[in-house]
Structure 1
Amino acid sequence: MAPGAPTASARAIADAATIVRWCDTLAGISQDDARTTRVYLSPEHARVNAVVAEWMQDAGLRTWQDAAGNLHGIVDGATPDGPVLLLGSHLDTVVDAGRYDGVVGVLMAIRTVARLAASGPLPFALQVIAFSDEEGTRFGKALLGSSAVAGVWDDAWWDLEDGDGTTLRQAFADFGLDPARVGEAALPPERLVGYLEAHIEQGPYLEQAGQALGVVTSIASARRFSVEAVGEARHAGGTPYERRHDALLAAAEAALAVERICRAEQHVGTVGTMSVEPGAVNVVPGLARFNVDLRGEFDEGRDRVWESITAAFDEIGTRRGVTVSPTEVHRAPAVFCAPALMDAVRAGIAATGESAPAELFSRAGHDAMSLGLVTDVAMLFLRNPDGISHHPDEFVSEDDVALGLDALAVAVERIADDRAETR
């Protein structure tokens, strides 16, 4: 290790080894043997909650599952029914996921709470939340678990369906949850001190800066759309080009327009799925479905870019004789981290020996977006070599996890000190 490089405590080094081992264990809780896929209200969701609940209990936390399927663990503060500082992340995954996205933040929170509780009660309770559905993989709507905790559940979501046609309402019942009681998952905002989330960076910027840890300044404003391009299915051999209304080509051109406009406007737009009907080699496609994920640092810029994209869709559709119709399926405002909590995270990183902690805007969404609706939030990013995520190759080193544990513990202590000074 280079002279002056950040160093971790012996306690953090030991805890980091445990966390990496736990990540490996959880990666095996999957609906697929060959890859990690763990979605909301599935048997794997129940299994992972049970395993992590045992680890919470072994660490001295009192545990329960809430009315939306989120797992909680708590260590009481100095005052019964007093304020609560939340820490956490999520346990669900995308399809064919890596083993650290979300998971490492939950496990770091558990070990941090155990470490701090050993020194006696803080002026607030420490509550770890393992959110159940950050990704939105099963029902297409992200942040379901944390939306319930924030008290912003929308009853329109009950009719969402998964790929097998199961509604969210039915999935709740199948999992043993009562849809009528989902409101009980909401936490009282007046008791909350704030929310801290540790997470791997889902980009390359910390690696480029040569730093293990970073302070998040804000979280991307996001909108998602499902889009239908409706043309006309006709014989591939018998239909001349001037008579074709090819839905696939319109959709492909629309996808390129998303990239072109977002690159020019310094936003991020992605077309992640596309399907075609009737899907025969000798038939001009009459229907294409695709989605658009749009992200920006500010809501106003994001919405301006979307207007440019829809104008491009209209032009493409008119020129090709295809109707291109988007429907919004998700909207999340930009969330700005609270300065006082950012200062605490910054102090935590500085305590590891990093003199000038990196500050980053998160282009990825996180459960902190929901919690930011009801309390102050801050995030600690951990270096992810090459920045790859939502992929089996995502990675965080044991050394960086150890540094993150020390930083998170100091951040919580700083929040406790600040609270004591203001009383």
Structure 2
Amino acid sequence: MTATSVARGATTEAAARIMARADELGAISSRADALERTHLTPEHRVAADLVGAWMREAGLTVHEDAAGNVCGRIEGLRPGLPAVLLGSHIDTVPDAGRYDGPLGVLLAIEVARGVRAGALPFALEVVAFSDEEGTRFASALSGSRALAGSWVEDWWSFADADGVTLADAFTAYGLDPGRVADAARRPGSVLAYLEAHIEQGPHLEDADLPLAVVSSIAGARRFALTVTGHAGHAGGTPYERRRDALVGAAELVLEVERVGRSSGVVATVGQLQAFPGGVNVVPGRVELSLDLRAEDDASRDAAWDRIRTAAERIAAARSLRFDAAETYRADAVACAPWLQDAVRTGAQGAGVADPPVLWSRAGHDAMVVAGLAPVGMLFVRNGNGGVSHSPDEIVTEADVAVALDAFAATVAQLARRLEPGDTSTAATDEDRAPEAGA
């Protein structure tokens, strides 16, 4: 199978179409003043139907699976072959940008447009996942979890801000909660998953390059931390008698930054609240969050050990109590080496001679699909400092054209690898990443 099986020449028309469609999806929002399109809302339905129509127009056979994922398929040399899956998500966070998620879906549709039915030694599928962000129900990655067969049953009782449960929202959307397992793909039915996504960081912009190969997706842990002292009157409590929880927490926040900077781990305190909260009261309790992300789990866990040790030292020195509860854990997921090679070769074919290799600091659907099949990812430059989850996301039409060439060339590389009669396999045991945590 040669590269001619996939349309590699990303035309100005194709790139312009992707940009226009990103704008069109960006206008589908529950808010007039910002982009917000969450799971199973009327706006989600409009976007899903539109994406399905674009898939059909590109020549795919389309269906909506039992979890609301929009799926399109082009058969390979014969019907029923295992598939290479391309995709991303179409839901958003509040006050979102237009490219986080939808760009990957739109690039995948354009790659599929250039594929002739019966030309590849595998089926080619495109999926627009219904819920990656988890904004409405705190059910992040539920669309890809349904597809990968790792749905979390506890999600059904989760409720949104209006008290609507996920189960009720499924029914209102036209889905049957009792059939969500039907969305799970059979083992062996997916050969590989490829995802194109904007870089959620500044590295490509700083290097003045349009594309990067993703090596892995961050291992993350989150904690709810509590520092407890004793509340007292601000005027009447001498310093030598204070057990000020906020001062201890502030010292801990600085230690979190020191650990992150020195270890290469991304360590963030995003929430902090002092109690009882009076302007004239020494705080007796402080609750704060901790988010840790690292390229590998060992580095992440070592950073937590350092932070916990420092917190206990600070608490002891100030006569405070420190408590921690882990609220989230997702182990790092490595992109398969052979898929990294294919993405690299695809980028080189699109004119990026030496694409950098970056690890993703953010989570993606790929980290869940890795429990089903090997995964690979392509990063596309995101301007304006690499900001994401924000209307300030910037992607240029020129970079989209290069990304489309590279993504199509990556699929062509997989077609060569899986040439009929080739004795190599798509995935060895070491290529398969362990399933990510919830």
Q: Structure 1 length as normaliser, TM-score?
A: 0.89
Is the CA contact (8 Å cut-off) linking 2:75 and 2:118 kept in structure 1?
A: no
Task: Name the structure 1 match of 2:405.
Answer: 406
Is the CA contact (8 Å cut-off) linking 2:9 and 2:405 kept in structure 1?
A: no
Structure 1 residue 371 and structure 2 residue 369: aligned?
Answer: yes
Deviation for aligned residue 1:63: 2.3
Task: Name the structure 1 match of 2:289.
Answer: 291
Identity of aligned residues (%): 50
Task: Name the structure 1 match of 2:201.
Answer: 203
Cα deviation, 1:252-306, whole Å, max 9, x if unaligned, reads 4333322221111110011223344554434444554432221111111211111
Task: Name the structure 1 match of 2:392.
Answer: 393
Structure 1: 5+ residue runs without aligned partners? 1-7
State the alpha-carbon separation in 1 of the partners of residues 227 and 312 from structure 2: 11
State the alpha-carbon separation in 2 of the partners of residues 173 and 418 from structure 1: 43
Task: Name the structure 2 match of 1:359.
Answer: 357
Task: Name the structure 2 match of 1:347.
Answer: 345
Task: Tell me the C-alpha RMSD between the 2 structures.
Answer: 2.6
User: Judging changes above 3 Å, is the alpha-carbon distance between structure 1 residues 240 and 185 closer, same or farther for their aligned structure 2 residues?
Assistant: farther
Cα deviation, 1:365-400, whole Å, max 9, x if unaligned, reads 211111112211111111122222222212111011
Is the CA contact (8 Å cut-off) linking 1:221 and 1:302 kept in structure 2?
A: yes
User: Judging changes above 3 Å, is the alpha-carbon distance between structure 1 residues 177 and 227 closer, same or farther for their aligned structure 2 residues?
Assistant: farther
Is the CA contact (8 Å cut-off) linking 1:116 and 1:409 kept in structure 2?
A: no
Cα deviation, 1:330-362, whole Å, max 9, x if unaligned, reads 222211111222222122111122222222222
Cα deviation, 1:70-127, whole Å, max 9, x if unaligned, reads 222222222222111100011122222221111100110011111223x753222111
Task: Name the structure 2 match of 1:188.
Answer: 186
State the alpha-carbon separation in 1 of the partners of residues 363 and 140 from structure 2: 9
State the alpha-carbon separation in 2 of the partners of residues 114 and 331 from structure 1: 38
Amino acid at match of 1:309: I
State the alpha-carbon separation in 2 of the partners of residues 172 and 251 from structure 1: 42
Residues 288-327 of structure 1 correspond to what in structure 2 (within 5 A)? 288-320=286-318, 322-327=320-325
Deviation for aligned residue 1:314: 2.9
Structure 2: 5+ residue runs without aligned partners? 1-6, 424-438
Is the CA contact (8 Å cut-off) linking 2:87 and 2:105 kept in structure 1?
A: yes
Q: Secondary structure at the match of 2:418?
A: helix
State the alpha-carbon separation in 2 of the partners of residues 232 and 159 from structure 1: 37
Q: Secondary structure at the match of 1:97?
A: coil
Task: Name the structure 1 match of 2:51.
Answer: 52
State the alpha-carbon separation in 1 of the partners of residues 247 and 165 from structure 2: 32
Q: Secondary structure at the match of 1:189?
A: coil
Q: Secondary structure at the match of 1:400?
A: helix
Is the CA contact (8 Å cut-off) linking 1:268 and 1:295 kept in structure 2?
A: yes
Task: Name the structure 2 match of 1:4.
Answer: none
State the alpha-carbon separation in 2 of the partners of residues 38 and 72 from structure 1: 19
Alignment partner for residue 378 of structure 2, among 358, 377, 380? 380
Deviation for aligned residue 1:232: 4.9
Cα deviation, 1:4-61, whole Å, max 9, x if unaligned, reads xxxx976432111111111112222223222222223333322321221222222222
User: Judging changes above 3 Å, is the alpha-carbon distance between structure 1 residues 365 and 21 closer, same or farther for their aligned structure 2 residues?
Assistant: same
